[in-house]
Amino acid sequence: MRFDKRYYEPNFSIHKGKEKRAVKRAMTLFVLAVLLVLVAACGGQPQTVTVVETVEVTKEVVKEVVVTPTPAPETGPRTLTFFTTEADPPQLDALAEIIDEYHQEHPDVFIDVVTGTPATRGERIATLLSAGSDAGIFEIEAAFTREWAEAGFLLPLNDVFEAIGGVDEYVPGSYFELNDTVYALPYATSVYGLWYRTDLFEEAGLEPPTNYEEVLAAAKALTNPDKGIYGIALPGSTNASVNFFSTFLWQQCLDYYTPQGELIFDDPAVLDAIKKWVALTEYAPPGFETWSWGDQITAFVTGSAAMSVYAGRLGVRIPEQAPDLEGKADIVRLPWATRPDSPYVTYGSWSRIAISANTRYPETAKDFLQFFLSGDRLARYDATVIGHMVPPTKSVAKLLENWDSDYARNHSDWLAFFNENAAYTNHPANNMGSVEGCNFVKKDYGPPWAGPVFSKGGIIDLMFQEIYINGTDPEQAWQDAIAKMKDVQEQWLAEHPDWQPPTY
């Protein structure tokens, strides 16, 4: 990995100069020597003469002048670093193609692609930024974006944002903005919904579910262990379990914390939500207790589940792994509502890109970012996993709905579904208090103590493991989780006494 150190100009200069200020003091003495001109002439008395004296005073003044630094000239050979965790071969090939096109237009600009993993991305970039190193262009985690923006680590991107189309072009909530300054721009998200077998629903005389009671009834009706078919696939472990349950919690007008960080998971209504969620798992395939992300796809494409919660990747796998299900599957919004005013919220997190504030070539970095995120270039990049990588701009969304591929030709309705629901994605670790009352407003700021709560093996994950595997009563498991959540938050606050809740 190669990083350039920024060439710094001084932040300010102290200039000492002399200012000469001439102060003329005129003292005019008038003595009337006109007792009598004749007396003066005759008596030889002394005459009084008026004298004007000019005195020049010099004063030295020291002034401190702040001078705007002159950025390093952005000419000649320049190298930028682009850090990404999208390391699948098709994505890297598409990125390389886009970089080559940019290089053809800007032969002096070279872009080094550095790949990493999501698990180490945050720590890696944080180390570079805190050391004052040039982190270049990089994918940024939502959990760190606000903190890094406030610390001055991120380059403002308002001009790039506006050049691409601004608020009229971008999906609401897709980009990160703080105090009217845009610091991170998105390239994709994933939109989760409920996949269902249309053939099985038709055979059972069922309509696609629109609320919790309907999905529970469908899961029960379609469960037939003798045929190896179960009503619904739900993950019982890891952060997949946490995130899918979170969508259910939000649609009950509930959340884990307020926007100011006050714990509200102890609301008695939360226990009712947990019991309703657990009731759905009665119709899940055996072994769901240990399932994570990929198991949701496997259960559906192998025919063992009539419904499954997942994003667009499941639809991509159908023609690849279960062509016999083509024309027998569809997707609807997550139907968890139990009241008329339930907000619609689904799972998903925008993948965004930022630029280091002290990058050596800020204008060149912004120019490439604009090139990458606009036109058919972003469409080509997102099309590497079409349907799963949902674009952030309206123009690219339309391009992909009409993309030259079998998937787009056969399932443009699925692509339209993902585009229409991209604005309703949410993530429990990245958005603290996004549901207030029954209103969903994305906050783009997660609980700083979120790790032990929402991660794999965290408090919420273990709460459900206790229920599913150990048979712990849901109320007891919930109470235990509340106590642990309070302990984690209190410990974090004690270690960070200066922390202040965000304001909106």
CATH (domain of 246): 3.40.190.10
* Residue bearing tokens 């629109």: 210
Contact 338, 215 (CB under 8 A): no
Token pair 């680590």: residue: 153
What per-residue confidence (pLDDT) applies to 71?
56
- Confidence (pLDDT) at 46: 42
* Amino acid at site 7: Y
**How many whole angstroms separate alpha carbon 158 and alpha carbon 145?**
16
In a domain, 44, yes or no: no
159 with 238, same domain: the answer is no
Backbone angles phi and psi of 472, in degrees to 5:
-65, 140
97 with 205, same domain: the answer is no
Phi, psi of 179, rounded to the nearest 5 degrees: 55, 45
Of the candidates 390, 423, 456, which is a domain's last residue?
Answer: 423
DSSP single-letter state for residue 109: E
Q: 232 and 175: one domain?
A: no
Strands 137-140 and 109-115: unpaired
Q: Which of 372, 389, 423 is the last residue of a domain?
A: 423
Q: What is the dihedral of CA 271, 274, 276, 277, to 10 degrees?
A: 170
Q: Within a 10 A sphere around the Cβ of 3, how many other Cβ atoms?
A: 18
- Which residues of the chain, if any, have pLDDT below 70? 1-72
Do 134 and 227 reside in the same domain of the chain? no
CA distance 375 to 164: 9
Whether the CB-CB separation of 97 and 313 falls below 8 Å is answered with no
- Quick one: 450 and 401 in the same domain? no
Rounded-to-integer distance, Cα 204 and Cα 231, Å: 12
Q: pLDDT tens digits, residue range 410-461? A: 999 999 999 999 999 999 999 999 999 999 999 999 999 999 999 999 999 9
Beta strands (DSSP E) in 134-278 are 137-140, 176-178, 181-188, 193-197
Residues forming a β-bridge with 206: none
Q: What would the pLDDT profile of 5-42 be if each residue is shown by its tens digit?
A: 333 333 333 333 333 333 333 333 233 233 223 233 33
- Whether residue 310 lies inside any domain: the answer is yes
Q: How many CB atoms within 10 Å of residue 76?
A: 7
Among 127, 145, 138, 191, which residue's Cα sits nearest to residue 349?
191
| 365 in the same domain as 290 | no
Show the domain range for 465: 193-341+441-495
In this prediction the pTM is 0.84
